Amino acid sequence: MQNVPLLINGEFVRSSSTQFIDVTNPVNSEVIAQTPVATDAEMQQAIASAKEAFETWKKVPVTERSRLMMRYQALLKENIDEIGKILSQETGKTFADAKGDVWRGIEVVEQAINMPSLMMGETVENVARSIDTYSYVQPLGVCTGITPFNFPAMIPLWMFPMAVAAGNTFVLKPSEQDPLTPMKLAELFQQAGAPKGVLNVVHGGREQVDTLLEHPDIKAVSFVGSVPVGQYIYQTATKHMKRAQCFAGAKNHTVIMPDANKAQVINNLVGASVGAAGQRCMAISVAVFVGSSKEWVEELIPKFKEVTPGVWDDENAAFGPLISAQAKERVLNFIQSGKDQGAKCLVDGSGFELPGYEKGNWVGPTLFDGVTKDMTIYQEEIFGPVLCCMHVDTLDEALELINANEYGNGTSIFTGSGAAARKFQTEVEVGQVGINVPIPVPLPFFSFTGWKKSFYGDLHAYGKQAVRFYSETKTVTARWFEDDIPSGPNMTINLS
């Protein structure tokens, strides 16, 4: 049994808290660790440590900060198997999926290495006679990140490497359901040479989050999670005069045109809907078949039945269990509601059990057809291995359906027509669009750009937008007088 430590001022310390949250292995529900609920004193120490470290860290040359990220990404790559194993055991993800989680985070660290060029300001010489104007990009101060259970490596690595490389210090509050992976990331960050206090890690629940949201020394808040929590965090953070970027729920649609490559569509729909047990904010949960493509739904049935969940080290396992018993119950309730409201359950995974792991949080791949807009399984984010199939006659109807949805995280279209693809990408009201790509998560030199109810804030994660989120711009207008000093004061705004 592990007692998960805190990281405060460069030291991994055992919390003095008397409150703990069990960390369970999703494949068998065994408790593998306990997460402390940090005391108020520990929270204050972590924030104070970050504030003190900022005074030194902001003065460190950006090239040195970049070299720290070089060392860090090398350590992450060297230890990817170990991180993947830890991640698998506390989330239930397959080993391959777990390493993919880590790798997508490593890509963001590699982008943070580019911070010297990303933080370049702008210069114009002689904007007026003998006057130059130039700008500097400077760090904010202490930033914080509140991360979800479903990507315990990738999402923390979205946040603190970009913030720290930009010259800020950071307080990370990972999910209490799987804190072991973030702690391993923090351990390697310290090993890479991060100075004391640059990264701090605390644990807990709402009270600890509120402390971060309300503390005057925290300047920016980044969050990934559900809609109600995202709304709360955004409103609370901005109320306390902080920057906030809050990534919330999703209901991602894939449109299938009759001219698409059928084999590619079938394979991509299966993987994009039930991979990682559907616990991805970019998972495809709705397939919209246009015109004659509706006939392809029947061919999904055998493909769904072939997909078998399993434990993390089973190379034949397609995906693992859900994160918790509560998550399983929630998904099962959604499946039952689909049946009750008249959808056709073509493949039912609600009764799946894995022999020898009957206490695990298992739900098998589930396929519904005949889903309509008024059904709960369409209106709500299921966050499980469930695909809902819908039918429309035209691309215009598909666009109308998607644009009427309150979420705008990701969408995709499968087609052989450039005209259809261009119409779709132009008219769809969703932030991230795939063309013959089911899950269009952009690489880190772009930004993760959900729209509508999927995102609260102005600047998105990673890429250039993250640099802007974690920095301020200082503009300097300078003049050095020559010998011919003009007589008398200038009483106008004209600089010349």
Q: Is 224 buried (19+), middle (13-18) or exposed (0-12) by CB count in 10 A?
A: buried
H-only helix segments in 139-290: 154-165, 180-191, 206-214, 227-239, 262-274
Q: Is 254 buried (19+), middle (13-18) or exposed (0-12) by CB count in 10 A?
A: buried
Angle at 282 between CA 461 and CA 425, to 5 degrees: 85
Helix axes 80-91, 180-191, angle to 10 degrees: 160
Q: Report how far Cα 397 is from the mean position of its chain's Cα atoms.
A: 30
DSSP 3-state of 71: helix
Distances (CA, A) of 12 to 3, 9, 186: 11, 9, 10
Tokens 């009764």: give the residue: 351
Residues 180-199, buried b or exposed e (16+ Cβ, 10 A)?
bbbbbbbbbbbebebbbbbb
Q: Rounded distance, CA 496 to CA 490, Å?
A: 9
**Closest to 4 measured CA to CA, from 25, 20, 28:** 20
Strand 366-369 relative to strand 410-414: parallel, antiparallel, unpaired?
A: unpaired
Contact 36, 12 (CB under 8 A): no
Strand 386-392 relative to strand 366-369: parallel, antiparallel, unpaired?
A: parallel
* Catalytic one of 281, 345, 388, 389: 281
Residues 73-101, buried b or exposed e (16+ Cβ, 10 A)?
bebbeebbeebbbbbbbbbbbbbebbbbb
Cα first-last separation, the chain: 72
> Known catalytic residue: 143?
no
- How many C-beta neighbours within 10 Å does residue 474 have? 11
Provide the annotated active-site residues. Answer: 281
